[in-house]
Amino acid sequence: MRLSPRARGTSACLLQANPQPIPADGPLIPMPELTVAAIRYAVARITPSRIPAFDEHLTEAATNAQQAQSLAPLGTFIHVWVINVAIARHPACGARGARFHALEALIDAGTEDSTDALLEIQQILQAAKAEAGLSSGSGP
């Protein structure tokens, strides 16, 4: 799965009345509910610089949903951004996110066989999907 340039590097959390402390070796935030508001909140906490890209992608998804008279574009939007949150919410995942982008760059360069890189990207995405509670066959 190729993430769009606007969704790449994105790292949604619920507004909690009593936020719980996060262990030093644990995730920065809990996994969000699969709602636009919760995911936006998570993006704002993890990577606030990505909020303009999030909002732009949301507007695009809503427009496409209206034009197609289908909720599928909004489902895809939620899927892409919650996976990005799952990848970026762990402090140690800075390395996981960086590795993901390095693998994308390697594939984009086209200078070597990308089979191993594609398999590693697939593993990163599968782990993120599982963390987000998405079925392995769902989404883009």
Residue whose tokens read 């990163």 = 124
Task: Determine the Cα angle at 73 with ends 67 and 74, to 5°.
Answer: 110
Closest by CA position to 34, among listed 69, 71, 77: 77
Percent over 90 (pLDDT), the chain: 39
Residues 76, 37 contacting (CB under 8 angstroms): no
Residue 131 has pLDDT above 90, yes or no: no
Task: Determine the Cα angle at 41 with ends 103 and 140, to 5°.
Answer: 40
Percent over 70 (pLDDT), the chain: 74
Q: What is the mean pLDDT of residues 108-134?
A: 87
Structure confidence at residue 47 (pLDDT): 85
